[in-house]
Structure 1
Amino acid sequence: MTSSDYVVPSDSKLELVAPPLWSTEEQRPRISAVDLFCGVGGLTHGLVQGGIRVGAGVDIDPACQYPFEANNSATFIEKDVNDLSGDDLLPHFAPGDLKLLAGCAPCQPFSTYSRSGRSKKRELDWQLVLGFGRLVQELEPELVTMENVPQLADHAVFQDFLKHLKGYHVWSSVVECSTIGVPQSRRRLVLLASKLGPDGLPLANVKHGKRTVRETISRLPPIVAGEQHAGDPLHTASTLSPLNMRRIQSSKPGGTWRDWEPELRAACHRKDSGASYPSVYGRMEWDAIAPTITTQCFGYGNGRFGHPEQDRAISLREAAMLQTFPEGYKFVRSGEKVQFSRLGRLIGNAVPVRLGKVIAETLTGHVKKSFG
């Protein structure tokens, strides 16, 4: 089907004109997607798990190409979204499929983690949201999904983005990802838009029990701080200074730096403001969800990123699994040196795979309701 099958009344409510009857699931149209701001492929991998074909991912960071293409049967396009047109993307959708334009524009302008010292360029990164909207207008896909930080919903740029969705039925909400099976506390704004109608769009209809740290990473072999496991280069933990080793040895799962002897406390803990950071230098708990996995999650002093039992920070593989990447997801080529800062950034910025799968399941269910 194409956009010409739709009539947009003056009140902007969409009506489907004479939809065909699909007698079997095989006859029902499939969904084909392009993933903007694809990163290492978290959203793409989830969409594929949920039954959606992904033809291409777009990202300006060349470091994303290997993990994206090594784990997904899709083409990586290294390009700024602002330099793309709808015609550039059209060949990457399978003929006859419903088109889905998906993506998560960089959220640094809204980040509370890196708010100090950011450049003017970073302040303008939200313009990529409008680039996303422009491509929606040019491409006219039947389906759109966007994932971002909750703060975006309160920013004028979100309202500007919605103007690009005239003629779509739109649902958006802030989703606590732990309620859909992501083993961490992670609140994200999720938007779904469709030209097919409103039935089946709310992501809130899809629920899943909470998954714990133990269920997610406990089967991995133990390693020590500074060690890389011989069988998995990503299962590597950063080194600890002698002082931080003493600190983690004094830390209880779910505890705080207040459990330490006074001489172990950092200077920031001795200030009045230190009371606001009880999770810094903390251990995770086995039978709870993890904290939000950030770009600095490999560092013990950057949050509650201490392993629940072993005296080290979580490994990069554990971070990726807490982001619901499969245990065998490839992030580095064979023999390539593991760089904590680069891989931490790629993993922390990723869309959790599980969230991508739930989005896909919601959209495929929506299509089923729309076509019968």
Structure 2
Amino acid sequence: MEKEFSAIDLFSGAGGVSEALKDFFQIKCAIEYDPVIAKTYELNHGKDHLLVEDITLITNERLLNLVKLDKSLDLLVGTPPCQGFSKHSRKSSNNNFDDRNKLILEVIRVAEAVSPKFIFFENVENILKYSIFHLFLKRLANLDRYGYKKNQNKPSYHICFNVVNASDYGVPQKRKRLVLLAKKIENFPNINAVIKHPRGSLPFVTSPLELWPDKQPALSIGEYWDQFSLAHLNAGETDPNDPLHKCRSLSPLNLRRIESTKKNGGSRSEWPQDLKLDCHKKENISFGDVYGRMNRNEYAPTITCGCITYSKGRFGHPTENRAISLREAALLQTFPYNYKFTGQIDGSEYKGSIDQIAKQIGNAVPVNLAKAFVKIIYNELTQEKIICSEKPDNIIKMYNLP
């Protein structure tokens, strides 16, 4: 049955946000540039509404013709690539010219074309430092200092944004992200929605939109994984009953290293000298999580594109002598157990590049994080519909009007 409310998912990736959307919204369109990643999306959500194209080449006119909205769009989702804003980006200036950073303005362009009632935007927390994000806020608000529209032909939005930890929203990992919600303004002036940007400080909303989900603390890694009865694996093995439960092989040296690492949270500091890398023997070396184990009783570190590689972070299994598997990484991103992935262009399930699948998992918006915010927007739309459908007598009674 077709859902009552509509949504568009920009930069959809493997479909983490669409997985959250599908219980509440009719997805009118999803756009993904990478054809292999799009195959994973297609395996789980179909291809009728999927565009596998460069968003910058899709005109507003073509998008509107494809989407065929019979009423206003209810929700626009924008989760553009975050690598250019990452703390690990080689271009550290807040005015750097990484072309990927310009993609956040495509969210503005589409919003101006389809005029959605709500917007959900997610990116890395470091985006707050970038001038292009400050421009994004001003253009999205589209208000002068008195709360009136700057551009009469474009929508205006009341915004709230915060840095959140995914572990507060049902995701068993420490993953900080910038989340922004916006609601279209129907009445002017709206002085509360004005963006202020004092010199030398970060921009802020005069009085942020009051729309935010309650926190729902996640289970620990062990509690979460235990729900799925995952098979024991040795390094390099694949569970014959679960093709996504596969892990990388380890060199003899790295196998000795992980065997020398204390279970549940141990680190390379425990290794004997002959196992240590020369670069790690120096004092005050950062990246202490590298070659570490996760702790079953805590949350995972941020799941990245390198999440199944022992040497790229604290991605050692808590108790087994290997790095975590693709399945374990996907579960830490709260993808459902039956979610399908592919690493090759023909879309064969669980086939192809293990690195490609890890990239899809690491770059995804965790499903439970997205669901918390999608649901609060859905509830707001539902409540507004109820109020609009009430008879005048009931409205008078509800608000105690004379």
Separation in 2, partners of 1:204, 1:66: 33
8 Å Cα contact 2:73-2:114 kept in structure 1:
no
Q: Is 1:36 the counterpart of 2:36 in the alignment?
A: no
> CA shift at 1:195, angstroms?
1.6
Alignment counterpart, residue 279 of structure 1, candidates 289, 308, 311: 289
Separation in 1, partners of 2:177, 2:326: 22
- Tell me how large the CA RMSD over aligned residues is: 2.6
8 Å Cα contact 2:238-2:246 kept in structure 1:
yes
Matches within 5 A, 1:92-131: 92=67, 95-96=70-71, 98-115=73-90, 123-131=98-106
> CA shift at 1:174, angstroms?
0.8
Separation in 2, partners of 1:148, 1:79: 21
Q: Pick closer, same or farther for the CA change 1:238–1:93 going to 2, 3 Å.
A: farther
Unaligned runs of 5+ in 1: 1-28
Cα displacement string for residues 33-78 of structure 1 (whole angstroms, at most 9, x for unaligned residues): 11111100011111224x1221221111001122111112452211
Q: Is 1:214 the counterpart of 2:222 in the alignment?
A: yes
Letter in 1 for 2:161: S
TM-score, reference length from structure 1 = 0.85
Cα displacement string for residues 281-324 of structure 1 (whole angstroms, at most 9, x for unaligned residues): 11111111100000001101111101111111000111111011
Aligned residue for 2:265, secondary structure, equals coil
Q: Pick closer, same or farther for the CA change 1:123–1:194 going to 2, 3 Å.
A: same
Q: Pick closer, same or farther for the CA change 1:205–1:60 going to 2, 3 Å.
A: closer
Separation in 1, partners of 2:61, 2:225: 43
Cα displacement string for residues 149-183 of structure 1 (whole angstroms, at most 9, x for unaligned residues): 11112211112112332221111111111001111
8 Å Cα contact 1:179-1:208 kept in structure 2:
yes
Match of 1:47 in 2: 21
Identity across the alignment (%):
39
Separation in 1, partners of 2:110, 2:158: 17
8 Å Cα contact 2:239-2:245 kept in structure 1:
yes
Match of 1:258 in 2: 269
Separation in 2, partners of 1:277, 1:356: 29
Identify which of structures 1 and 2 has the higher relative contact order when contacts are C-alpha pairs closer than 8 Å and 6+ apart.
Answer: 1
Q: Is 1:181 the counterpart of 2:170 in the alignment?
A: yes
Which structure would you say has the larger Rg?
2
> CA shift at 1:185, angstroms?
0.5
> CA shift at 1:112, angstroms?
2.9
Separation in 2, partners of 1:122, 1:263: 43
Q: Pick closer, same or farther for the CA change 1:202–1:62 going to 2, 3 Å.
A: farther
Match of 2:351 in 1: 337
Separation in 2, partners of 1:287, 1:151: 28
> CA shift at 1:200, angstroms?
11
**Larger deviation, residues 336-345 vs 147-156:** 336-345
Unaligned runs of 5+ in 2: 143-155, 187-192, 194-206, 388-402
Q: Pick closer, same or farther for the CA change 1:131–1:238 going to 2, 3 Å.
A: same
Q: Is 1:67 the counterpart of 2:40 in the alignment?
A: yes
Alignment counterpart, residue 281 of structure 2, candidates 270, 276, 280: 270
Q: Pick closer, same or farther for the CA change 1:310–1:35 going to 2, 3 Å.
A: same
Separation in 2, partners of 1:67, 1:168: 33
Letter in 2 for 1:207: K
Letter in 1 for 2:367: V
8 Å Cα contact 1:40-1:346 kept in structure 2:
yes
